[in-house]
Amino acid sequence: MPSEGWLYGRVEGQQFVNALSRALADLIREQGGKAEVPAVSERFHTVSEPDGSGPSFTSNWSERHVAYACGLCQTNVPCERRRPVRGK
């Protein structure tokens, strides 16, 4: 069981990240760009399978998926060694 402090940090921290992400996306759109915040998108969903028949948590897309689609990330190298793709 996670500690109470971790739970507050996780829940309230994610609320902060979501609010900041929305604000940044709005700013980008105001400047004429395109932006999406996967975690707060209507198209984003997660699935939990408590019976243990599969992954305990999955989602249909993530910030990493968006970075790859935008050409910002390579997927053929481990996450810790990923660097932005240059020249695209």
Please tell me the predicted confidence (pLDDT) of residue 10: 79
pLDDT in tens, 62-88: 777 777 777 776 666 555 555 555 554
pLDDT in tens, 18-70: 999 999 999 999 999 998 888 888 887 777 766 656 655 677 777 777 777 77
**Would you list the domain boundaries of the chain?**
1-35, 36-88
Return the number of other C-beta atoms located less than 10 Å from residue 61's C-beta: 15
Whole-number Å distance between alpha carbons of 3 and 9: 10
The label of the residue with tokens 């240059």 reads: 86
Please tell me the predicted confidence (pLDDT) of residue 24: 95
Please tell me the predicted confidence (pLDDT) of residue 47: 74
What is the pTM assigned to this prediction? Answer: 0.58
3-state secondary structure of 18: helix
